[in-house]
């Protein structure tokens, strides 16, 4: 508790100590003879102790011509009650109101802190080594790109960099949600925000502090709460209208019915005189004013969203705004990019077919022909070859985009590529009976066989589809630039029934646009990709999810949700979190407004007094806040 809260707590206790015995006496529960003025004085002490700041703020509100704030409402309601001789009710309402305020302030402060602890990856300092070998702590802001910094065991890595010296294990849980430590050695890139567990590391920084992963994540998370959702805007607008409306209703209630009764005499039977009629209706109006406080409703919605965003980021899911959390919850179609999302993008040579010559020799020639290319498929051939190709043996390299490579290796004309390349050079390619990417080879224009290259499925790719369906996603579509046969096989393995294959990058945008059109009015379309080459698709979809995209600025910029690792199951988890969060938001809105509406009706009918009104107000607020905090618990979704 901070100073303000402690102060309020003391005032509440002191006021309660005065209030309870005096109230018991005034109700006749304890029989003590006491003059009426003494009772009043004791009530007044209690009232002023607990409520003097409210009275002051109400006065300031009137002075500044902004009367419809809660303080004003509470002041009018309680002062009117006391003036009508209902000392007990007047003081109790103020007391309970302050209890509610205190609870709210403590609860919100606590959840604010626990959420920021979840995201506590801000490094406070960086170590640089002086000439005498001593470490000096400096502000990470001052470290220039390319400097050498030292990270000791137990410290946070302050700035992105590559390891120059040392080996260690890193705890990357705060960044990726992955609990297994990651081992690093010289040459590895490390991200700021991870915690160095075992050894001393010397890092060469590769970014400025501002541009480092930890700063970027914090920036993103902190800005997320200011992109407000529709529910938040709705509730803010609602509060703006609700309070004045209820106030005028209270005024009408205090004046119109008693005047009507006095003029017509209808309904007079229950009252002893006209004065009592007014007294009764003014008290009902005071109850209205107590109910008109909007804070219970207003606090619960942003708190739910904030807790949801915090809980998600703790799981390695960064959602860039409450509005995206809201949209995510109504996703009915999820579109995947195959490579990097469902499959690893790690190609492996799994077979050599129709080769009449020695297979190792064929691989050697192909690997040499491809030795200048960094295409994932070329790299897979080079890996399969196992040795470093000798570039001196290769000449006359010609890369034909979308076809393959022509080159002279050891004086032989080697062509490595797809069927189109074979047709182009007049070699007859034999088809492959297995699914996978097929790379044909021709030597001096004669067909020499082909390699079968396959991508591995990611861990969890199979569970992802089931988890998405469980989270309420109706349609899962896979997009790929790969061949139909490969797409079919992958889709089959992971259980995706719908896919579009052989798409060029711009076709993917079109495909997503078609799905958006088909889905209009039926829910939102999310696109998940690895952020490489798919920024346009990420921004075109209702929700763009970038996976494992910490390295790619373009993807982080274009995406609405960033998964810090590349586990596809997190897509389903993000949707599940958003659904839970929105369910809680709806519960809170309906519950809070429902209780308020019921109380308004009951008090207008004279069935609810101020006790019930304030208990409902504070009770609703406490329950709504507790319910909102549930958004934080998303680990098991």
Give the footprint of other proteins on this chain (CB under 8 A): 4, 53, 56-57, 60-61, 64, 66, 69-70, 101, 104-105, 108, 112, 115, 222-223, 225-226, 228, 236, 239-240, 294-295, 298-299, 302-303, 305-306
Choose between 226 and 374: whose C-beta lies nearer to other proteins.
Answer: 226
Choose between 292 and 333: whose C-beta lies nearer to other proteins.
Answer: 292
Q: In angstroms, what is the minimal distance from the CB of 309 to other proteins?
A: 9
50/8 Cα distance (integer angstroms): 8
Choose between 111 and 373: whose C-beta lies nearer to other proteins.
Answer: 111
Going from the C-alpha of 253 to that of each of 256, 259, 279, 370, 604, the distances in angstroms are 6, 10, 11, 87, 8
Alpha helices in 370-448 (DSSP H): 376-385, 419-425
Q: In angstroms, what is the minimal distance from the CB of 604 to other proteins?
A: 23
Q: In angstroms, what is the minimal distance from the CB of 244 to other proteins?
A: 13
Choose between 210 and 434: whose C-beta lies nearer to other proteins.
Answer: 210
Are 201 and 168 a contacting pair, CB within 8 Å? Answer: yes
* Catalytic entry in 69, 337, 534, 542: 337
Element (H, E) at 150: strand 148-151
Q: In angstroms, what is the minimal distance from the CB of 291 to other proteins?
A: 15
Q: In angstroms, what is the minimal distance from the CB of 77 to other proteins?
A: 17
278/284 Cα distance (integer angstroms): 10
Burial of 479 (0-12, 13-18, 19+ CB in 10 A): buried
Q: In angstroms, what is the minimal distance from the CB of 4 to other proteins?
A: 8
83/70 Cα distance (integer angstroms): 20
Partners of residue 525 on adjacent β-strands: 333
Choose between 108 and 148: whose C-beta lies nearer to other proteins.
Answer: 108
Residues in the chain: 637
Q: In angstroms, what is the minimal distance from the CB of 18 to other proteins?
A: 25
Q: Is 337 a catalytic residue?
A: yes
Choose between 20 and 241: whose C-beta lies nearer to other proteins.
Answer: 241
Choose between 46 and 292: whose C-beta lies nearer to other proteins.
Answer: 292
110/28 Cα distance (integer angstroms): 41
Which structure tokens are listed for 498? 């719908």
Which structure tokens are listed for 517? 């059109």
Are 368 and 409 a contacting pair, CB within 8 Å? Answer: yes
Reduced to 3 states (helix: H, G, I; strand: E, B; else coil), residue 454 is strand
Partners of residue 368 on adjacent β-strands: none
Choose between 76 and 254: whose C-beta lies nearer to other proteins.
Answer: 76
Q: In angstroms, what is the minimal distance from the CB of 553 to other proteins?
A: 19
Are 527 and 544 a contacting pair, CB within 8 Å? Answer: yes
Are 437 and 453 a contacting pair, CB within 8 Å? Answer: yes
Cα-based torsion angle of the residue sequence 313, 316, 322, 325 in order, rounded to the nearest 10 degrees: -140
Give the 3-state secondary structure percentages of the chain, helix then strand then coil, rounded to 5.
55, 20, 30
608/601 Cα distance (integer angstroms): 9
Annotated catalytic residues are: 337
């Amino acid at each position: 508790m901070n100073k303000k809260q402690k102060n309020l707590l003391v005032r509440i206790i002191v006021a309660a100590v005065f209030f309870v015995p005096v109230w018991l006496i005034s109700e006749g529960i304890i029989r003590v003879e006491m003059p009426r003025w003494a009772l009043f004085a004791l009530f007044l002490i209690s009232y002023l102790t607990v409520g003097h700041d409210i009275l002051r703020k109400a006065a300031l509100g009137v002075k500044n011509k902004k009367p419809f704030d809660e303080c004003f409402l509470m002041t009018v309601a309680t002062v009117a009650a006391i003036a009508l001789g209902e000392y007990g009710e007047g003081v109790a309402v103020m007391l309970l109101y302050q209890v509610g305020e205190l609870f709210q302030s403590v609860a919100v402060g606590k959840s604010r802190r626990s959420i920021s602890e979840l995201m506590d990856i801000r490094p406070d300092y960086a170590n640089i080594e002086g000439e005498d070998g001593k470490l000096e702590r400096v502000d990470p802001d001052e470290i220039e790109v390319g400097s050498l910094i030292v990270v000791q065991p137990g410290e946070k890595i302050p700035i992105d960099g590559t390891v120059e010296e040392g080996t260690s294990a890193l705890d990357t849980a705060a960044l990726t949600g992955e609990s297994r430590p990651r081992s690093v050695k010289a040459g590895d890139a490390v991200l700021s925000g991870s915690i160095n567990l075992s050894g001393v590391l010397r890092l060469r920084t590769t970014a400025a502090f501002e541009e480092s992963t930890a700063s970027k994540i914090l920036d993103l998370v902190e800005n997320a709460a200011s992109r407000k959702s529709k529910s938040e805007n709705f509730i803010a607008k609602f509060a703006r209208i609700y309070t004045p409306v209820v106030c005028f209703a209270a005024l009408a209630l205090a004046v119109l019915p008693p005047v009507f009764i006095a003029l017509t005499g209808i309904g007079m039977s229950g009252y002893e005189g006209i004065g009592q009629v007014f007294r009764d209706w003014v008290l009902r109006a005071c109850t209205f004013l107590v109910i008109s406080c909007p804070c219970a409703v207003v606090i619960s919605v942003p708190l739910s969203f904030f807790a949801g965003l915090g809980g998600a980021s703790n799981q390695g899911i960064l959602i860039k705004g409450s509005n995206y959390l809201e949209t995510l919850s109504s996703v009915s179609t999820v579109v995947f990019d195959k490579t990097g999302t469902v499959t690893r993008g790690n190609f492996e040579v799994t077979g050599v077919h129709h080769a009449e010559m020695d297979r190792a020799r064929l691989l050697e020639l192909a690997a040499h022909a491809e030795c200048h290319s960094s295409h994932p498929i070329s790299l897979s051939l080079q890996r399969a070859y196992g040795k470093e190709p000798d570039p001196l043996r290769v000449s006359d390299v010609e890369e034909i985009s979308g076809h393959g490579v022509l080159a002279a290796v050891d004086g032989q004309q080697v062509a490595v590529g797809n069927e189109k390349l074979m047709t182009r050079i007049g070699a007859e390619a034999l088809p492959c009976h297995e699914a996978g990417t097929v790379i044909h080879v021709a030597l001096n224009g004669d067909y020499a066989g082909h390699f079968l290259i396959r991508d591995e499925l990611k861990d969890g790719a199979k569970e992802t589809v089931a988890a998405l369906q469980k989270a309420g996603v109706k349609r899962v579509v896979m997009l790929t630039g790969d061949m139909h046969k490969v797409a079919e096989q992958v889709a089959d393995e992971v259980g995706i029934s719908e896919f579009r294959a052989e798409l060029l990058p711009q076709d993917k945008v079109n495909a997503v646009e078609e799905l958006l059109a088909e889905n209009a009015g039926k829910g939102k379309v999310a696109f998940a990709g690895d952020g490489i080459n798919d920024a346009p698709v990420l921004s075109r979809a209702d929700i763009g999810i970038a996976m494992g995209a910490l390295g790619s600025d373009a993807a982080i910029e274009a995406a609405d949700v960033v998964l810090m690792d590349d586990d596809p199951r997190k897509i389903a988890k993000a949707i599940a979190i958003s659904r839970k969060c929105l369910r809680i938001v709806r519960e809170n809105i309906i519950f809070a407004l429902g209780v308020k509406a019921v109380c308004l009706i009951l008090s207008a009918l004279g069935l609810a007094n101020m006790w019930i009104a304030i208990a409902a107000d504070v009770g609703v607020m406490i329950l709504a806040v507790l319910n909102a905090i549930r958004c934080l618990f998303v680990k098991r979704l």
